[in-house]
Amino acid sequence: MKQDKKMIVCFLAPLMIFFVGLYVYPIVRTIIMSFYHVEAISDPISTWSFVGLYNFKELLNTTIFRQSMINMIKIWLMGGVAVMFFAILFAVILTSGVKAKNFYRAVIYIPNIVNAVAISTMWINFVYNKRFGLLHTFFKWIGANNLAKMDYMNGTAKFYSLLVAFCFGSVGYFMLIVMSGIEQLPGDMYEAATIDGATKPKQFRYITLPLLNGVLKTCLTFWTIAVIGFFVWSQMWSAPLPSDVATITPVVYMYNLAFGSLANAARDGGMAAAVGVLMTLVVLVVFQVLNLIFKKDDVEI
């Protein structure tokens, strides 16, 4: 028995060392760092200066950070509604006995397997380009000159061009999750509902949606994580100018604070850590709200 315990310790020790060193330690260090003035995140602890809650107060008074939070909320809310709507719509259609289901499922999911940098470049250069982009060509062809002349990469349209592109690349992932949930539902319930005269919309409203309670909670959880960590798309859309904050997100702002950029030459590791702590708190709050809304993962059948 003692030999078995020694073997267990030998196998678990390397894992625990890596877990503490690569996961626990960075989290604890970041939380502590958020209460100090730190110029660079690699500076030794002896050079840190304790400032208490100053970093958090300064962040809340910073226009760029507030705008990044507004952008993140808009992406989560507006994008979440659009992505969940189309994900559920496509999932219901593809699980209703439509022919070539596997082909359509693969086509809708393809954007998820393409690198985010590649797909965002495609949207910027081949869809939104003012000279030869798809939207410019299409609107010019149908005679909508005002829409054809619109610059989708500047002004108020810039944020919504980013939102549309990001949602386009996200629908397929959540569609597969919803499809997996629908395919596990008992078919006899739908047969009984059909015999009783329930239409397809009523079956969806009173059978499918209630039974997908846990699946929807999972989708919203994954969507929240994706939006909180929204980085690559924002970087591709954002210009390195302090005045261009139309598409900046908190994670991008945190990156600029930690490593410096053309927009922020002075690095501030303490404030960057404060952004990370605030984002963690946002995630915890959202998860708690989801737990209150979706109190049960599944409906008993």
Q: What is the mean pLDDT of the chain?
A: 85
Residue 262: per-residue pLDDT: 47
Torsion of CA 221, 222, 228, 231, to 10 degrees: 180
Range of the domain at 97: 63-293
Torsion of CA 264, 30, 50, 272, to 10 degrees: 10
Whether 199 maps to a domain, the answer reads yes
Distance CA 174, CA 171 (A): 6
Residue 243: per-residue pLDDT: 59
Whether 238 maps to a domain, the answer reads yes
CATH number at residue 176: 1.10.3720.10
Is residue 164's pLDDT more than 90? Answer: yes
Residue owning tokens 């846990």: 214
Q: What does pTM read for this prediction? A: 0.86
Whether 31 maps to a domain, the answer reads no
Of the pLDDT bands very low, low, confident and very high (cuts 50, 70, 90), residue 261 is low
Whether 242 maps to a domain, the answer reads yes
| CA angle, residues 80, 185, 289, in degrees to nearest 5 | 35
Whether 11 maps to a domain, the answer reads no
Is residue 87's pLDDT more than 60? Answer: yes
Is residue 270's pLDDT more than 80? Answer: yes
Of the pLDDT bands very low, low, confident and very high (cuts 50, 70, 90), residue 44 is confident
Contact call for residues 18 and 40 (beta carbons, < 8 A): no
- Helix pair angle (25-33, 269-293), 10° resolution: 110
Whether 69 maps to a domain, the answer reads yes
Q: Show the tokens assigned to 286.
A: 């959202």
pLDDT tens, position by position, 186-221:
877 877 878 877 787 888 888 888 888 889 999 999
Count of structural domains within the chain: 1
Of the pLDDT bands very low, low, confident and very high (cuts 50, 70, 90), residue 240 is low
Whether 285 maps to a domain, the answer reads yes
Strand partners of residue 36: 50
Query: 36: part of which helix (H) or strand (E)?
Result: strand 36-37
Distance CA 264, CA 261 (A): 5
pLDDT tens, position by position, 95-137:
887 888 889 888 899 888 888 888 888 898 888 888 788 888 8
Whether 187 maps to a domain, the answer reads yes
